[in-house]
Structure 1
Amino acid sequence: MQVQGKVIAVTGGGSGMGRHLVLHLLSKGARVAAVDINEAGLQETASLAANPERLSTHVLNITERASVEALPAEVVARHGAVDGLINNAGIIQPFVRINDLDYAAIERVINVNFYGTLYMTKAFLPHLLARPEAHIVNISSMGGFLPVPGQSLYGASKAAVKLLTEGLYAELLGTSVRVTEVFPGAVATNITANSGVEIRQMESQGRSSLKPLPPEEAARRIIAGVEQNRFRVLVGSDARLMDFLYRLAPAWATRFIERQMRSLLG
């Protein structure tokens, strides 16, 4: 789906990759409904927009189903229609093992990452099916196909997003709605701060590390995937490498990631 002239809702639009998705869509001629729980973040995104007349901002907690269900009508009232949805909002867990992860943190991550994506999809899908062409993009994670110790629950939530998205793709074949799943690797965003998570400095001696991808480049690649109607988008050389290695030798790749994460877990 070409995004020019389309109306697209983006969650997590107040910062990081979501903000750059909003700005990139606007630069390509789309109209955008930016959604975020952080009103100040949305205002900052709006202040950076070159075409603010094509942008609406919506302060919303995506884990509150009733509020999410009211959102499509707000977007349609503002823009006249809605043609696309990018489920980008997400949080990580504290860097601890499952044994040390409390239930409040577990429920928060599952509610934001999985139920938030599900609620948004369910709310917008009837409107998208009524359009001549439409698109749903769900942001999973490299951790959604590769186990990452200390982020096992986060990975489980993103694996659920992966399977939900693939199921949607199959269910929507033959309709006007296309579906894309996205697996970012390391992207330079403030997700740790937004998640309320503290992180130790990872020991780097003797290790090579890939530089995180700038969020504006990640956004560009995601939108390119939408315009190419791609089923699957791997964002970053680390995501592509680990996707290959995990398919080739899953146990070896799991042990490799555990060694990289060991210093964070203590």
Structure 2
Amino acid sequence: MKIDGNVFVVTGAGNGIAREATMHLLARGASVAGVDLSEAGLAETARLADAGDRFSQHLVDITDRAAVEALPAAVERAHGRVDGILNIAGVIQQFVKVVDLPFSEIDKVMSVNFGGVMNMCKAFLPTLLARPEAAILNVASMGAYAPVPGQAVYGASKAAVKLVTEALYAELLDTNVQVTVVFPGAIGTDIAANSGVTLAGGETREAAAEASSYKTTSPIVAGRVVVDALAKGRFRATIGSDAAAMDRISRINPKYATTLIAKQMGSLLG
């Protein structure tokens, strides 16, 4: 997929991987419509990017179907067209076992992580199919194939993203729309704080990971991997050595992979 001169919509652009992907896209000559719930986050991305009218800010809740359905027209007004969407926005769940997880939390995680992706894909597919070249890139998670204790519903939501993305790839094989799914491992972002999640003792996941010397990949690197996968039209990509290793292990011996992750990450439950 050509990056220079094309227009991409990026969800979650006010922070983390999505902000860095936005920066990489803009650096490569693209225009970006940044979508986020945080007005301050989008404004900071705009300040950092300093890309003028090549970056537009769209304060949209991706779980609001009507708001998302109005987004293609808004992006076209700002940039003239849409060539691709990058669904990166997401939240994690409270770090508790399923037995202790309230249904309100289950609904929230599924609504943002899976429902938001579906809303975006459904809203933009007609527009993308009309372009000579277009792309959909959805960010899943290592948790989609290597379940983390205390993140069962988060992993399930990302497994749903994985499967629907692969199904979209199959459905769009004979069209102009390329489809990519990306699996990040542990990334040094503020996703826990942005999700309203704390661990036992009030720690965020990132703080706990740092305390235990768990290796994370920087958002800058993650953003570059996302944009490289988009540019190369890859079917799937992993981010970080942890995601790559668990991808291989889970294919060979899924039970061993699940047990390994449980032993490494179980301490996050306190």
Asked if Structure 1 and Structure 2 have the same fold, meaning a TM-score greater than 0.5 normalized by the shorter chain, the answer is yes
Give, in angstroms, the shift of residue 199 of structure 1: 2.4
Match of 2:220 in 1: 216
In the TM superposition, what whole-angstrom CA distance separates every residue of 1:51-88 from its partner, at most 9, and x where no partner exists? 12200000010000000000000000110000000000
Name the SS for the 1:148 alignment partner: coil
Take 1:165 and 1:149, find their aligned partners in 2: how far apart are those partners?
24
Cα RMSD (Å): 1.4
Partner of 2:147: 147
Report the Cα distance in structure 1 between the residues aligned to 2:210 and 2:66, rounded to whole angstroms. Answer: 45
Q: Secondary structure at the match of 2:70?
A: helix
Residue in structure 2 matched with residue 73 of structure 1 by the alignment: 73
State yes or no: 1:251 paired with 2:255: yes
| In 2, Cα distance between equivalents of 1:110 and 1:203 | 24
Which position in structure 2 is the counterpart of 1:260?
Answer: 264
For residues 102-145 of structure 1, the C-alpha deviation after alignment (integer angstroms, 9 at most, x for no partner) is 01100000000000000000000100000000000000000011
Q: 1:231 pairs with 229, 232, 235, which one?
A: 235
- TM-score normalized by the length of structure 2: 0.95
Extract structure 1 runs of 4+ deviating beyond 3 A: 200-205
Give secondary structure in 2 for the equivalent of 1:118: helix
Alignment of 1:46-125 (within 5 A): 46-125=46-125
Letter in 1 for 2:256: W
- Whether the 8 Å contact between 1:210 and 1:238 is mirrored in structure 2 is no
Pair 1:21–1:203, CA change in 2 (3 A): closer
- Residue in 2 that maps onto 1:170: 170
**Could you tell me how far 1:99 is from its partner in structure 2?**
0.2
Residue 9 of structure 1 deviates from its aligned partner by: 0.1
How far has the Cα of 1:18 moved from its partner?
Answer: 0.8
| Residues 143 and 155, structure 1, Cα contact 8 Å, conserved in 2 | yes
Give the Å deviation of 1:261: 2.1
CA distance in 1, matches of 2:199, 2:180: 31
Structure 1: gaps spanning 5 or more residues: none
SS at structure 2 position matched to 1:89: coil
Tell whether the 8 Å contact from 1:187 to 1:213 is kept in structure 2 after alignment.
yes
Distance 1:50 1:2 in 2: 22
Return the offset for 1:189.
0.5
* 8 Å Cα contact 2:148-2:266 kept in structure 1: no
With 255-264 and 140-149 compared, the bigger mean Cα shift is at: 255-264
CA contact (8 A) 2:184 2:239 kept: yes
Structure 1 CA distance for aligned equivalents of residues 10 and 52 of structure 2? 15
Gaps of 5+ in 2: none
Picking from 237, 246, 253, the partner of 1:242 is: 246
For residue 246 of structure 1, report the CA deviation from its aligned partner. Answer: 1.1
1:13-53 deviation line (CA, Å, top 9, x unaligned): 00011111111100000000000011110001111013122
Q: By how many angstroms is 1:203 displaced?
A: 8.5
Matched, 1:198 2:206: no
Are the equivalent residues in 2 in contact too, given 1:192–1:199 (CA < 8 A)? no
Find the counterpart in structure 2 of residue 19 from structure 1. Answer: 19
Deviation at 1:184, TM superposition (A): 0.3
Q: Which moved more, 1:128-137 or 1:191-200?
A: 191-200
CA contact under 8 A between 1:203 and 1:263: conserved in structure 2? no
Cα displacement (A) at 1:204: 8.9
Distance apart, 1:210 and its partner CA? 4.8
